[in-house]
Structure 1
Amino acid sequence: MPSLISVQSQVCFGHVGNSAATFPLQLLGIDVHAVPTTLLSNHPAHPSVYGREIEAELLEDLLKGLSERGAFARSSGLLSGYLTSVANGDVLVRALKDYKKQNPKGVYILDPVMGDQGSGLFVREGIPDLIADQLLPLADIITPNKFEFEILVGAKAAGYPEMISLARSLMIAQSINCVVITSANASVEEGRNTESGQQGRTAVLVIKKNSAWLLETPLFDQHFSGTGDLFASILVGWVLKGDAVEVAAQRAVTAVYAILKQTTASGSAELNLITNYKCIFKSGDLFTLKIV
């Protein structure tokens, strides 16, 4: 059975971070070692939130325990998401270097959670630099949204050809194998700006050294926290099961769209993962991979 160390936020109510990732990964047959960077009552988009970040010393102890139980040496991959502090980021960097030393074939998937189009940055000062300078060089696959991608490359990308060019330059500079950009169309606002009342579109761009693919889906008017965490987890799950990244992305896009469609229809304000768990395995009518 493949296993994954997942270092992300955790909530008691709703589905973001590890609380969005663990269940889908387990359904896909992945043994998940979930390590929290925060422990909160709910995500901060609600009127109130309680809890706190995991202190650096505690985070280091949790990762040390996993290493001593053999999880570093045996886990097929390590996924990291939201970080609450530079101190926690430093702990993660040290753990990753140890993970890579113990497990050279292990895959590190970096979801560089920093912000989004419209809302801007929502992480503390110093975290974007830590991600760019210390985590990127260790990553095999990265899954930024377009806003985060532009921060990592230090440039605006006007269209898909420019995104592909910038991504490949980043891949060469940092020895990254694949870049997966979510919300890859210029902005959420442009995605919704369609004529004749047609539903807007959103896109995922998968970039390798010699190939690139585009996945487009209808865009929902309602925003759901945790969508990116859910996408990254399903993508990682299929990669660990042996799929090429572009096929894993195709499966993840299709699954997330199906869950969002059912969640919207139900009127829920939170991702409805449990009721719609079968969407995670959806294999028919996959969204089309377009070569770009």
Structure 2
Amino acid sequence: MNNTPQVLTIAGSDCGGGAGIQADLKTFQMQGVFGTSVITAVTAQNTLGVFDIHPIPVKTIQAQLQAVKNDFNIASVKIGMLGTLEIIECVAEFLADCPFGMLVLDPVMIAKGGAQLLQEQAISALTRHLLPLADVITPNLPEAEALTGIAICDERSIQKAAKSLQKQGAKNVIIKGGHSLNSQSESCQDWVFLVDESHFVLESPRFHTPHTHGTGCTFSACLTAELGKGKSLQSAVKVAKDFITAAISHPLNIGHGHGPTNHWAYRDFVN
């Protein structure tokens, strides 16, 4: 019997390879889990921006989900870009009936170049249908503000936003500080709020680089991989933090805009 952990990403495709499904599968591979995928949208994008978005028909998404369910033992799931109200409802309905294991929700809303990846009317559907299913949600600061309506300006408002997300159903909340409360700060903090009401902060040096395309996808994919291996959330989030720090601090210098992170840096420079 094969004991290789099997995990799933439900997200959009990035033809530039730096984010979305492509970043997730690269991360899964580097962390020693077998990755499966359900594609929710095909995007035309590169390091310079997003130029076209084509949502996949709901019945095709349903068929992909069913195909994965019928043949794999999924230990953990990452949800990334969903895009529309209809797709959110489709995915939420399926996961409510057929839970796959630990669920990590990365509420993708805006691309690095500023393109809107989640329709405005879909935000309330995401909080209503998916937050109650999420074992972990991983918003950055702007996403946490959009999901809670709370203006985040200090650690007190971060705690308030995290509690709001937990009241809406999310069990554990990781608010990523890459956008920073202080743009001059030389450190980057992520705030982790656990279901048992404990919390802690992870800190790393801030690297001033344009090569950060796909950081949110990569972080949450690594977290999903570690949870799929049966690691505790505390252990998994620390590995994910180290993974993305290595990926940012050893850039590939690819593309002419916001370049991708280095998905094999953790293996080559940390492990």
Q: TM-score, normalised by structure 1?
A: 0.79
Distance change >3 Å, CA 30–CA 124, structure 1 → 2: same
> Equivalent residue for 2:74?
75
> Equivalent residue for 2:190?
204
| Partner Cα distance (2:114, 2:44) in 1 | 22
> Does residue 63 of structure 2 align to residue 61 of structure 1?
yes
The Cα shift of 1:15 comes to: 1.5
| Partner Cα distance (1:272, 1:25) in 2 | 15
| Partner Cα distance (2:49, 2:18) in 1 | 16
Specify the code of the residue in structure 2 equivalent to 1:4. V
> Equivalent residue for 1:214?
201
1:86-101 aligned within 5 A: 86-100=85-99
**Native 8 Å contact 1:117 1:147 kept in 2:** no
> Does residue 153 of structure 2 align to residue 145 of structure 1?
no
> Equivalent residue for 2:265?
276
The Cα shift of 1:178 comes to: 1.0
**Native 8 Å contact 1:115 1:147 kept in 2:** no
Specify the code of the residue in structure 2 equivalent to 1:3. Q
**Native 8 Å contact 1:192 1:219 kept in 2:** no
| Partner Cα distance (1:109, 1:275) in 2 | 22
Alignment partner of 1:213: what SS? Answer: strand
The Cα shift of 1:49 comes to: 3.6
> Equivalent residue for 1:52?
54
Structure 1 segments of 4+ aligned residues over 6 angstroms from their partners: none
> Equivalent residue for 2:43?
40
> Equivalent residue for 1:127?
122
| Partner Cα distance (2:248, 2:118) in 1 | 25
Task: Pick one of 148, 162, 172 that aligns with 1:167.
Answer: 162
Unmatched runs of 5 consecutive residues or more in structure 1: 195-199, 284-292
| Backbone CA RMSD of aligned residues | 2.7
Calculate percent identity across the aligned residue pairs.
Answer: 22
Larger-Rg structure: 1
Task: Pick one of 227, 237, 241 that aligns with 1:239.
Answer: 227
Distance change >3 Å, CA 201–CA 67, structure 1 → 2: same
Q: TM-score, normalised by structure 2?
A: 0.85
1:4-19 aligned within 5 A: 4-19=7-22
The Cα shift of 1:182 comes to: 0.7
Specify the code of the residue in structure 2 equivalent to 1:139. A
Specify the code of the residue in structure 2 equivalent to 1:205. W
The Cα shift of 1:67 comes to: 2.6
Task: Pick one of 107, 112, 121 that aligns with 2:102.
Answer: 107
The count of aligned residue pairs is 263
Alignment partner of 1:228: what SS? Answer: helix
Greater mean deviation of Cα atoms: 215-224 or 7-16: 215-224
> Equivalent residue for 1:26?
29
| Partner Cα distance (1:116, 1:57) in 2 | 26
> Does residue 177 of structure 2 align to residue 178 of structure 1?
no
Higher relative contact order (CA 8 A, sep 6+): 2
Task: Pick one of 253, 260, 263 that aligns with 2:248.
Answer: 260
